[in-house]
Amino acid sequence: MSINLLVLACLVYVAFLFAVAFAVERRADRGQATWLRSSLIYTLSLSVYCTAWTFYGAVGYAARSGLEFMTIYLGPTLVFVGWWLMLRKLVRIGKQQRVTSIADLISARYGKSNTLGVIVTLLCIAAATPYIALQLQSIALSFAAFAQDLPAAHFTERQDLFALWVAVGLALFTILFGTRNLDANEQHPGVVTAIAVEAVVKLLALVAVGVFVVWAVADGPGDILGRIEAAARPEWQIQPGRWVGLIFLAGVAIICLPRMFQVMVVENADERHLATASWAFPLYLFAMSLFVLPIAVVGLEIMPEGANPDLFVMTLPMTLGQDGLAMLAFLGGFSAATSMVIVSTIALATMVSNHIMVPLWLHLRAGATARRGDMRGLVLNSRRLAICVLLGFGYVYYVVTGGSAALAAIGLIAFVGVAQILPALLGALFWRAANRIGAGLGIGVGFAVWLYALFLPSFGPGVFISAQVMAAGPFGIDWLRPYALFGVEMDPLLHALFWSLTLNAVAFIAGSLLGFPRPLERVQAAQFVNAFDIQAGTRGWSQSAAEAEDLLAMAQRILGTAESQRFFQSHAGAQGKAGFLPDTTPQFLDALERKLAGSVGAATAHAMIEQIVGRAMVSVEDLMAVASETAQIMEYSSQLEAKSAELERTARQLREANDMLTKLSVQKDAFLSQISHELRTPMTSIRAFSEILMDAEGMSDDDQVKYARIIHDETIRLTRLLDDLLDLSVLENGQVNLDVQRARLGDLLDRAVLASNSVRPGRDFVIHRDPAAEAVEVETDTGRLAQVFINVLSNARKYCDAEHPVMTISVARDGGMIEVDFADNGSGIPSDKQALIFEKFARLTDQMQAGGAGLGLAICREIMHNLQGEIAYVPGQGGAAFRVRFPQRLETEAPARALSAA
Amino acid sequence: MGKRVLVIEDEANISEAIRYILSKDGWEVDTHADGADAAARVSAAPPDLLILDVMLPGRSGYDILDALRAAEATRALPVLMLTAKGQTADRERAARHGATRFMTKPFANADLVAAARAMMAPT
């Protein structure tokens, strides 16, 4: 077959892919590509995992190591079957945060640290370089296989030239597809569809070769199984340690590989596609792996000794004269290689432009305002440049390593490299305490170990690491030998995997535990770890045509209907549009934001508009601002609440004080009115009789004496009233000076009885006493106590209405208190009056009979308060009964009772 | 003259002073100290002039006045109210209850005589 024909086939195939991609992009731009964003396309695009390594290399791998190649399929299968645990969250967060790459995800989670973004980008480039080289090598090898008719001298040279042309072609292809325009969501429906087509082609090619081998070369499955058993070699023995390690490695790779992240998360159109892919993708992998061993076994039988088993898929049909099948196999391998290179370089170019070139450019041109057009051009050009550079790296790696290494080995080196992202990624999704220091340290340490123990040695002794270091360690330090760190000797791949990930994880955890996350990191940590509790998100991806209407609806909620409509109408008018819905230009959004900010604050207004417009996800800074504004509002609110409660308390106190004052005022008025009455009454008599005596002509001497006596008595009455008022005032204000003395209770009662005898002296008044009980020493203001006794006894003498009044005085002791009861045998005080008798001027009976001002019991009550005791009316004793209760020993240290109830 | 005046006053000394003053002026003076049966006493033998204290034991002067004004026989009876609470509010209250005249304690003896005479003047 002519090499020219091969090149022509390639060009036609590429043109076809380009047409597919172009058509899809066109439809997507018109919004008609919904069927293309299906779970089928999504699943097929995931097959970018199956590179030329898988297509060619798996057969070679099987030929060399038996079933071990299956591990590369088993790892991803396990991850997808268990998609609910990890992938679902990854995709959800990717959408919520509008993540553009795995470097972006790590950077966003750890406080938008660009340093981390740069580290991850560099790691991914380093890991992808050999991988891209692998694809170039496979295409070059396959070209070379077709070019065997050329002179041998040109072989190696031609192969390198092939590789160079392939690299250039792929760069062009990727630039055309991947950087055609700057998509807001970093999604490339055209590329994804082309990848899906390639997925079908590579599967068809492999299955076609497999069917040919099983049914045309061998005699069906039974024969093949027999041949496989016969071909079994000692090195095909399953090594459990290597199996576990490789399954783990492949599982990690499918999560961490930049190109997998690109198709799985960034290009994902609907989270539900993941559910379909969880069973469909393992099925695809199963189909891809089904014929690997048969092809390998038959190839080993038929192909001459020394033939490269990596190329059996293509060389086997070629050797058997099936040129058409060989061509299909070539296109399958070409598909596998190109899809990987295209997606990888797109993903890596995005990282390079977003994390390295644009920040660098902005840094260099700090201060200069970047116009939108400039930025777009910058981003696209930086990506184009990155694609060229990355393919250049791949080509250089291919040339330097001489294209001699087995395909599978190169792929595994790349896997271990990207696996260094795993600890930081797991921490990002599941561990809130993980921070950027830990992530940076972990990835950095893992990166270094990977470089030293696997990547650099892969160039071969003498290129980066000398044979002497490989054998004896740097500076002769034995435990630092790249393939035997800390003296542990094992399979170099597993060795590097083990040490890089172990040290990585230790550094990550230690850094996270020892470092303090910034506030931004805390917020992001919460958003990532609790991704499923956050409701907002997916909406931001779809651009709504009803944007202006949504904005109006929102504005109405905040500004009110009339105000909002006026605002929208005026802006629509300014744009030359009728109605209420202006175009959502940046100017309009700015104005609206400022308008809303007046009502709800700047951060919230910004966040609300962004939520509806969906141009950019609400940034963490915005959320922080919202949070702090909200916190401030809450603080103000709680302060206001406290103030309000305080005011309420004050108001209640004022109300109570006012009520009290009003009551006091009423009482004062009533008291003054009473005083007036009590003073005017004797003064009326005094004035009347003195006027009578002034004109005493013809009046008998007896009458004159009688009237003079009345005047005399009334002045005494007045004086006593004034004395009582002063006494009461002093007692009520607690200003009384108590004259504490010791005395026998009986003596005090004797004094009181004697003093009260002057009241109604002519009347028979029997008093029963209990001298034994009265023989008790008291220490109090004896004068005041006697005053109370006199008042009670006098009242009894005045008011007892019994025909033969009898007073019984009994004494009881209750702890340190003494109770003296005075009970007469009268009709007593009616129960409705009992509460009144201790009030001022509460005279129940006739004025003259009482002969006092009605202050006596009020004074008694105040005296007893001052003596830390009390006086009370005791109902149900057959007559009027008063109980005087006081402490036997007055505590003089205790302050005298202050103002009693007025 | 020889007009009959009834004094309803619980303060014995004041009652005695009024009795002396008006007797000297030629009035026939009766005194009564209790509020409770005062209205009945008046109705039984209406005097020409009633001098009524406000603060009485048993029944207040206002209540007694209300009862007298409600009865046909005593509707037009001249009543001079005496009170020791000399505020304006008390004066108005007395007028509202139908008192003919109002005097605050203490009073000048001459004023009492003049008031009593004036109330007997033909209208």
Q: Are residues A692 and A820 in the same domain?
A: no
A170 within some domain: yes
**Which tokens go with A855?**
């202050």
d(CA A455, CA A419): 13
A457 within some domain: no
Pairing status of strand B49-53 against strand A777-781 = unpaired
d(CA B95, CA A261): 105
DSSP output for A827-863: ----TTTTTTTTSTT---S-HHHH-S-S-HHHHHHHH
In the prediction, which pLDDT does A383 show? Answer: 83
In the prediction, which pLDDT does A896 show? Answer: 47
Q: Are residues A598 and A647 in the same domain?
A: no
Q: Are residues A276 and A142 in the same domain?
A: yes
DSSP state of A129: H
Asked if residues A89 and A254 have their Cβ atoms less than 8 Å apart, the reply is no
Q: Are residues A563 and A674 in the same domain?
A: no
Q: Are residues A654 and A782 in the same domain?
A: no
Sign of CA dihedral A589, A595, A601, A604: negative
Least CB–CB distance from B106: residue in A680, A846, A847: A680
Chain A residue numbers with beta carbons less than 8 Å from the beta carbon of B25 are none
**SS3 for A805?**
coil
In the prediction, which pLDDT does B7 show? Answer: 94
A233 within some domain: yes
- CB distance from B17 to chain A under 8 Å? yes
In the prediction, which pLDDT does A158 show? Answer: 65
**Average confidence score pLDDT of chain B:** 87
A120 within some domain: yes
Side-chain-side CA neighbours of residue A140 (13 Å): 28
Residue that has been written with the tokens 């939108």 in this structure: A372
d(CA A87, CA A255): 8
In the prediction, which pLDDT does A508 show? Answer: 92
Among A590, A618, A646, the domain-final residue is: A618
Chain B residue numbers with beta carbons less than 8 Å from the beta carbon of A680 are 84-86, 104-106
Residue that has been written with the tokens 């020409």 in this structure: B48
A426 within some domain: no
A99 within some domain: yes
Asked if A685 lies within 8 A of B85 by C-beta distance, the reply is no
Q: Are residues A148 and A41 in the same domain?
A: yes
In the prediction, which pLDDT does A70 show? Answer: 87
Q: Which is nearest to A448 in space by CA: A388, A500, A411?
A: A500
Side-chain-side CA neighbours of residue A545 (13 Å): 2
Instruction: Tell me the average pLDDT across B98-107.
Output: 89
Sign of CA dihedral B46, B50, B56, B62: positive
**SS3 for A896?**
coil
Asked if residues A345 and A391 have their Cβ atoms less than 8 Å apart, the reply is yes
Pairing status of strand A806-814 against strand A766-768 = parallel
Residues of chain A with pLDDT under 50: 150-154, 184, 366-374, 535-545, 599-603, 616-618, 846-850, 895-902
Hey, what amino acid is at A826? Answer: G
Q: Are residues A84 and A112 in the same domain?
A: yes
Interface of B with A in 33-52 (CB under 8 A): 33
**Which tokens go with B48?**
């020409």
Instruction: Tell me the average pLDDT across B60-86.
Output: 87
What interhelical angle do A372-400 and A323-351 show, nearest 10? 130
Classify each residue of A310-340 as buried b or exposed e, where b means 16 or more C-beta atoms within 10 Å of its C-beta: bbbbbbbbbebebeebbbbbbbbbbbbbbbb
Q: Are residues A645 and A772 in the same domain?
A: no
From the number of C-beta atoms within 10 Å of its C-beta (0-12, 13-18, 19+), residue A657 rates as exposed
Instruction: Give me the CATH number covering residue A309.
Output: 1.20.1730
Angle, CA A102 vertex, CA A354 and CA A18 arms, to 5°:
75
User: Taking the CB of residue A843, how many other CB atoms lie within 10 A of it?
Assistant: 20
Question: In chain A, how many domains are there?
Answer: 4
Q: Are residues A607 and A675 in the same domain?
A: no
pLDDT tens digits along A369-390: 433 344 566 777 888 888 899 8
d(CA A230, CA A224): 10
Asked if residues A191 and A359 have their Cβ atoms less than 8 Å apart, the reply is no
Nearest residue of chain B to residue A713 (CA atoms): B13
Least CB–CB distance from B57: residue in A677, A688, A846: A846
- Domains in chain B (CATH in brackets) are 4-120 (3.40.50.2300)
**Which tokens go with B86?**
């000399």
Q: Are residues A608 and A552 in the same domain?
A: yes
In the prediction, which pLDDT does A810 show? Answer: 92
Least CB–CB distance from B20: residue in A692, A714, A847: A692
Q: Which is nearest to A624 in space by CA: A638, A606, A612?
A: A606
A484 within some domain: no
d(CA A541, CA A269): 9
A310 within some domain: yes
Q: Are residues A579 and A691 in the same domain?
A: no
Minimal C-alpha gap between A653 and chain B (Å): 33
Integer Rg of chain A from CA: 53
Among A420, A447, A480, the domain-final residue is: A420
Q: How confident is the model at residue B48 (pLDDT cuts 50, 70, 90)?
A: very high
**Which tokens go with A612?**
């509806």
Q: Are residues A708 and A782 in the same domain?
A: no
d(CA B63, CA B54): 9
d(CA A556, CA A569): 13
Instruction: Give me the CATH number covering residue A687.
Output: 1.10.287
Instruction: Give me the CATH number covering residue A859.
Output: 3.30.565.10
Residues spanned by the domain of A708 = 637-712
Choose from A685, A690, A709 for mutation: most chain B CBs within 10 A. A685
Counted residue by residue, chain B has a size of 123
d(CA A12, CA A20): 12
Asked if residues A629 and A603 have their Cβ atoms less than 8 Å apart, the reply is yes
d(CA B99, CA B101): 6
